Structure 1
Amino acid sequence: MSILDILSDDEQFMVRTVKEFVDKEVKPVVQELEHANTYPEALIEQMKRLGIYGLAVPEEYGGTPVSTPCYVLITEELARGWMSLAGAMGGHTVVAKLLLHFGTEEQRRRWLPRMATGEIRATMALTEPSGGSDLQAMHTVARKDTDGYVVNGAKTWITNARRSQLIALLCKTDPAASPAHQGISILLVEHGPGLTVSRDLPKLGYKGVESCELSFDDFRAPAEALLGGVEGKGFAQMMKGLEIGRLQVAARALGVGRAALEDALAYAQERESFGKPIWKHQAIGNYLADMATSLTAARQLTLFAAREAEAGRRVDMEAGMAKLFASETAMQIALNAVRVHGGYGYSTEFDVERYFRDAPLMIVGEGTNEIQRNVIAGQLVKRGGLDA
């Protein structure tokens, strides 16, 4: 049975189309783009034409919607080619889901049609320099006046900050609210006076796509920028959006892990030592067996969470499990791929060193794995157990 058998014929075709794009267009150029830290403009344009920016947008708004399992498998294919490409559409998808679930009809019609084509790309701004995982402790404040909101504060580690035209900004509209989450809202903001992209942050991996610091200094946003038109709903809205975000990160991890396994398997059949291919040596064969087994388990866990999300159920625990397990799995597979390659695994002429640099992002991104464990434990208690 193929993993694609869970999808409709049309969705299977889409996954295969993205796979072909990765094999023919991405893999031949990724090493050059990666080491030059070059933004992949030509590949992004091809992704637009493939409809990848409209995967979470309904047809009535011009999108090419797919099921959540299909979205996971498409993301995996992109990350198999270059994890940065999956990152270039991850936050965009979260913002599309936020608009779809919580936006006013006016907001949906203003943004979603152009987001579906990639004409407008979106990102989200959550993390602050002093806050990290504690989103409720944010200091970015939007004070309401007669013309809308005046925003002051700073955000960091914002992916696609320079090239995204729309930013879903998590901020405090009522700093005195207690509990704090009741004073948090999301503003849909565009670049303009008072918003500065101050610098691109240097990174171990995740090259090509920028991650930046944002500064808001008396930045003005109109009243209609408030997502859904009601203040104080932003924290719950973003937590719902992060369910698909964490599934996306899990799928990125699957892609990186799969690429590392595929490269290790090919190398182990080509490389010989002591008169035989190295996969026949038990140590190397065991690495390959463990890599394949853990990757399969991670994919099944991620697809389980995706199916639960597609059924309309709350999946903060399931998405957290998928993100936790898939990211830790990708890190271990990437390390083992370096071991299988021996000295060549440390060389920048081989892709496995890139996988080893990219894999840690999924461990700390979209909520660290320590936070995921907190979410999982909390939900286990709240739900009364795993199967309650």
Structure 2
Amino acid sequence: MIRDAETLQILLDSIHQFVDEVLIPRENEVAETDAIPRDIVEQMREMGLFGLTIPEEFGGLGVTMEEEVNITFELGRTSPAFRSYIGTNNGIGSIGILIDGTPEQKSHYLPRLASGELLSSFCLTEPDAGSDAASLKTSAVREGDHYVLNGTKRFITNAPHAGIYTVMARTNPEIKGAGGISAFIVERGTPGISLGKPDHKMGQKGAHTSDVIFDNVRVPASQLIGGVEGVGFKTAMKVLDKGRLHIAALSVGAAERMLDDALRYALERKQFGKPIAEFQLIQAMLADSKAEIYAARCMVLDAARKRDEGRNVSTEASCAKMFATEMCGRVADRCVQIHGGAGYVSEYAIERFYRDVRLFRIYEGTTQIQQVVIARNMIREATH
């Protein structure tokens, strides 16, 4: 649902210009230094990009799902590291507080997240709990007016920079599944928190992840999200549809960027006396990519609109995430091929994008998990 088309267009135009004039020219710098420049972070703060999804009453822009995916299409056209830096504040790092937090938790943390004063991290994945998230072992034991947390979280986005961590921990060991898991807001600097060494990843330089280790970390009971035990995993699940649509939109934006670069290269690169864009086998790769991007964009927008209408989009979100991320991988592969040998060297952005977008098919639920979700929902609907 777009609330005000004119206002949205002004925002999209400003983000489009920011991507073209500021972010794209600095991509190589980010790749070489493995860091987002501080002046860019400040510009993102000034534009309100840390609070896109946080309601206006807490200092954010309160965008709808349809508005969010349109914004993400734009942000997807540059290095994923830029989007990742603001992504947790707009997604899993804040939405749990927004959905289930107490009034005090919302008023204390959401304005600081919206302004970018605080960066958030979402601590769910563990060394032995990834796709099977309900099997997590991190424990939270009640001791008076505190909980004591112990455990290790893995591959946590923005962990080295976060001011708060939303931590999923098991408060009731007798309940083995999701029902025994609660969510806590844990502040950076709390005694007992330590970070593992930064992960050295295949791609996405500038987007930092690491282990977060909790060793007898005492957290006030007031930091239990919603003040109720046993709803933490349900909180995590509530934000999954949103996150999956966000990554699907990101995949569309990245694919559009790669195809634009490949088309430009194909028009400039000459073989046998003419641009390679005139060869039909090159045209086939361009056309297949264009059609798949169009299909993915339509899926994302349709699912976003349905979510804004209050409908259950578990199946649609999984379909969009699965199709868009797999599409993005195919487009990346074709675009490297169109570049030929040039696509294998770092002088051209496609070499970096080819590595960067591989992660899209893994986080926010792997392609295989999406297949399970889609099929399970189909079977449930058919048998009820």
TM-score clears 0.5: yes
Q: Does 2:210 align with 1:212?
A: yes
Match of 1:278 among 270, 276, 288: 276
2:310 corresponds to 1:329: no
* CA distance in structure 2 between the aligned counterparts of 1:88 and 1:383, rounded to whole angstroms: 38
The alpha carbon displacement at 1:42 in A equals: 2.2
Contact 1:91–1:245, Cα closer than 8 Å, also in 2: no
Q: How much has 1:79 moved relative to structure 2?
A: 2.1
The correspondence for 1:73, drawn from 70, 80, 83, is: 70
Question: Match of 2:163?
Answer: 165
Structure-1 residue corresponding to 2:107: 109
Counterpart residue number, 1:11: 8
Equivalent residue letter for 2:56:
E
Q: How does 1:182-193 map to 2 (within 5 A)?
A: 182-191=179-188, 192-193=190-191
CA contact (8 A) 1:124 1:169 kept: yes
One of 16, 28, 31 as aligned partner of 1:31: 28
SS at match of 2:166: strand
Match of 1:237 among 235, 238, 257: 235
More deviation, 18-27/267-276: 267-276
| Unpaired segments ≥5 residues, structure 1 | none
Match of 1:52 in 2: 49
Q: 1:7 to 1:368 in 2, by over 3 A?
A: farther
Q: Greater CA deviation, 281-290 or 81-90?
A: 81-90
CA distance in 1, matches of 2:250, 2:162: 20
TM-score by length of 1: 0.95
Q: Which amino acid aligns with 2:202?
A: L
Name which of 40, 43, 46 aligns with 2:40: 43
Alignment partners' CA distance in 2, 1:213 and 1:278: 46
Q: Deviations over 1:225-263 (max 9, x none)?
A: 111111001111100112111112112211211111010
AA paired with 1:110?
H
Q: Quick check: 1:84–1:206 contact (8 Å CA) kept in 2?
A: yes
Q: Which amino acid is the alignment partner of residue 116 of structure 1?
A: A
From 197, 218, 222, the counterpart of 2:220: 222
Deviation at 1:164, TM superposition (A): 1.3
- The one-letter code sitting in structure 1 at the alignment partner of 2:336 is V
- Structure 1 partner of 2:58: 61
Corresponding residue number in structure 1 for 2:148? 150
Query: Is the 1:301–1:322 Cα contact (8 Å) retained in structure 2?
Result: yes
| Superposition deviation, residue 77 in structure 1 | 1.5
CA contact (8 A) 1:78 1:86 kept: yes
**CA distance change for structure 1 residues 279 and 331 in 2, over 3 Å: closer, same or farther?**
same
CA contact (8 A) 1:139 1:153 kept: yes
AA at the equivalent of 2:64: S
Which of 283-292 and 77-86 deviates more? 77-86
How far the C-alpha of 1:170 sits from its partner, in A, is 1.0
The DSSP-based 3-state class of the residue aligned with 1:152 is strand
Distance 2:130 2:61 in 1: 34
Verify the 8 A CA contact 2:172 2:180 in the aligned structure 1.
yes
State whether residues 7 and 70 of structure 1, in contact with CA within 8 Å, keep that contact through their aligned partners in structure 2.
no
- Paired position in structure 2 for 1:91: 88
SS in structure 1 opposite 2:99? helix
Opposite residue 349 of structure 2, the aligned amino acid is D
Question: Residues 54 and 64 of structure 1 are in contact (CA less than 8 Å); yes or no, is this contact kept in structure 2?
Answer: yes
In the TM superposition, what is the alpha-carbon distance from 1:91 to its structure 2 partner? 2.1
Query: Take 1:121 and 1:222, find their aligned partners in 2: how far apart are those partners?
Result: 20
- Counting only pairs closer than 5 Å after superposition, residues 331-346 of structure 1 correspond to structure 2 as 331-346=329-344
3-state DSSP of counterpart to 2:239: helix
Q: Distance in 1 between matches of 2:133 and 2:254?
A: 28
Residue 7 of structure 1, CA deviation:
6.4
**1:253 & 1:242 partners in 2: Cα distance?**
16
Aligned residues of 1:126 and 1:155 also touching (Cα < 8 A)? yes
One-letter amino acid matched to 2:46: R
- Among candidates 313, 318, 321, match of residue 320 of structure 1: 318
Distance in 1 separating the partners of 2:166 and 2:313: 22
Q: Deviation of residue 19 (structure 1)?
A: 0.7
Taking the aligned partners of 1:383 and 1:110, their CA distance within structure 2 comes to 41
**Structure 1 residue matching 2:151: 3-state secondary structure:** strand
**Equivalent pair of 1:79/1:85 in contact (CA under 8 Å):** no
Residue 89 of structure 1, CA deviation: 2.1
Q: Which residue of 1 aligns with 2:381?
A: 383
Give the Å deviation of 1:40: 3.2
Aligned equivalents of 1:330, 1:260: Cα separation in 2: 9
Consecutive unaligned residues of structure 2, counting only runs of 5 or more, are none
Conserved 8 A contact 1:11-1:66: no
How far the C-alpha of 1:18 sits from its partner, in A, is: 0.6
Q: Give identity over the alignment, percent.
A: 38
> Any idea what the Cα deviations from partners look like across 1:341-374, whole Å, max 9, x if unmatched?
1110011010000110011110011111111111
